[in-house]
Amino acid sequence: MSHKLELISFKLCPFVQRAVIVLKQKQVDFDITYIDLNNPPEWFKEISPLGQVPVLKVGDDVLFESSVIQEYVDEITPPSLQPSDPLLKAKNRAWISFGSDILFAMHALITTKDEAVLEEKQALIQQKLGQLEAQHSGGSYFNGEEFNMIDAAYAPMLMRLCFVKNLTGLDLLENCPKLSRWSEVLLAMPCVQQSVVEDLMLMYKGMIKKMDGLLAASLG
């Protein structure tokens, strides 16, 4: 690589964590810069097309969208974390996109002040997790016994499901034994543990408390 990569994010962002996991797994030297999304610096507004994180700076160029960043990092640091079979690779991409919907539903779950919305989002998340459970190989990783891009993509979501369980007692994986095992395997990996700031769970707890939704009452 001719340029040292720089990721721009904020500390609670699950999407940048996907790219960080890939970078850590491949032992790539990179910088990460955290900003306050509520008060972003002018330079960030100038380089981010959508005003969102993550953004990856590659020299004078900028990439956005977490899945694009994740794939770019993988392509420039062989060997690839993608499956060699094109059909499996394409299916994995589709299920990675599916996982983003779960993350958005989780945000609604922990912030809503409406009981009906809480029940709706919980049911939606558990339905989607059930669909994912049916697709999982049952092995250590999604596709079997080899760590792939899809595992890096889902680790942030699984980490936050673990936070919700530990902080509020709500176990959204209670009916998903394969996903529960997958979560244990991924969250024990150094590349996942090192992909977030220290005390992220405390920060996550603080966010739930600040949002003052219904789940905030369940905080330990």
Interval 104-128: pLDDT, tens:
999 999 999 999 999 999 999 999 9
Of 54, 75, 96, the position where a domain reaches its end is: 75
Count of domains forming the chain: 2
CA–CA dist 12, 19 (Å, integer) = 14
Residue 153 belongs to domain spanning: 86-218
Could you tell me if 96 and 66 lie in one domain? no
Give residue 14's pLDDT band: very low, low, confident or very high (50, 70, 90): very high
Rounded (10°) CA dihedral 38, 39, 43, 47: 10
C-beta separation of 14 from 200 below 8 A:
no
Could you tell me if 180 and 109 lie in one domain? yes
pLDDT digits (tens, 9 = 90+) for 51-67: 889 999 999 999 999 88
Q: Token pair of 187, please?
A: 């969250």
DSSP 58: E
Q: Summarize the chain as % helix, strand, coil (round to 5).
A: 60, 10, 35
What pTM value is reported for the model? 0.95
The mean pLDDT value for 78-83 works out to 96
Give residue 3's pLDDT band: very low, low, confident or very high (50, 70, 90): confident
Of 75, 110, 129, the position where a domain reaches its end is: 75
Mean pLDDT of the chain: 95
Of 48, 75, 102, the position where a domain reaches its end is: 75
